[in-house]
Every structure is written in structure tokens, then in C-alpha cells.
């Protein structure tokens, strides 16, 4: 997660052949503090997730970078293996309810990934990135 003093742009050239893509840009308020001698008023910051993508930028490159940042390469494979094992009853020593947890975990991942891809597609449409 990155933090900025001002609202960052969704897409920015880094002047070295790379670009920064940001999503989940949100304003956060840091509460006021007192340290006994000084009192600091509340401040506003901006948080977001971001990835670096190198030229030539495409929506597929951005999507791949975001997915890799959120989930490592083996994460989905492990979910799929657990999902298939639960569906096939390979986990003989667990109850049906526990098997449903593996199935639900994979379905939850698919839902999250679909939402991320939709966000990237929406941003790329707005930025006219193919």
C-alpha cells in the first residue's frame, strides 16, 4: 500500500519507460495527536495499491501485474487443488461442512479476481488503454 499527501492519479508516467497504475485510491484521515508538548491536528492522506508496468502498456499487462501483486503464482493453484479435492471427496477425514470451506474459498477468490479485472478494465477504458 502506498500513501500520498495529495490524491494520486490512476496512471502516471515515471519518465524512465515505466508507468505506475493505482487502484483502490481512498482518502484517510489520520487523527490528531498530542505528545505532551505539541498538538498536531488531524491530517488527510491518500492510500492506494499500485504496480509498475513497463512500456508498451496494455490492459493485459496491467491486469497481470495487479493479479500477481495481490496473489502469488501458487495461490490459485492451491485453491484449485483444494477445491477439486473437496468436490471429489478426497479429504476423507473432514466433514462436508469443512469441504464446503475449500469450495467457498475458491469461489471467493474468483469473485475477488473478477472485481479487480473489472476495475482495471474500467480504468483502462477511461484512459483509452487497449
Higher model confidence: residue 117 or residue 89?
Answer: 117
Q: Answer whether 102's CB lies under 8 Å from 86's CB.
A: yes
Residue 70: name the closest of 57, 51, 97 by CA.
Answer: 51
Whose cell is 468436490? That residue is 87
pLDDT in tens, 6-61: 999 999 999 999 999 999 999 999 887 766 666 678 889 999 999 999 989 999 99
pLDDT in tens, 67-88: 999 999 899 999 999 999 988 8
Buried b (16+ CB within 10 A) or exposed e, 80-114: eebbeebeeeeeeeeeeeebeebeeebeebeeebe
Q: Is the pTM of this model over 0.85?
A: no
Amino acid at each position: 500500500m502506498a500513501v500520498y499527501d495529495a490524491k494520486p492519479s490512476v496512471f502516471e508516467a515515471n519518465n524512465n519507460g515505466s508507468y505506475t497504475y493505482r487502484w483502490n485510491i481512498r482518502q484517510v484521515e489520520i487523527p490528531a495527536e498530542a505528545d505532551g508538548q505539541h498538538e498536531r491536528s488531524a491530517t488527510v492522506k491518500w492510500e492506494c495499491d499500485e504496480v509498475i508496468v513497463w512500456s508498451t502498456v496494455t490492459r493485459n499487462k496491467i491486469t497481470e501485474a495487479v493479479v500477481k501483486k495481490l496473489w502469488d503464482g501458487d495461490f490459485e493453484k492451491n485453491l484449485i487443488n483444494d477445491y477439486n479435492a473437496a468436490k471429489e471427496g478426497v479429504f476423507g477425514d473432514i466433514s462436508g461442512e469443512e469441504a464446503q470451506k475449500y469450495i467457498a474459498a475458491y469461489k471467493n477468490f474468483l469473485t475477488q479476481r473478477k472485481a479487480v479485472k473489472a476495475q482495471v478494465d474500467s480504468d483502462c477504458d477511461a484512459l483509452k488503454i487497449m
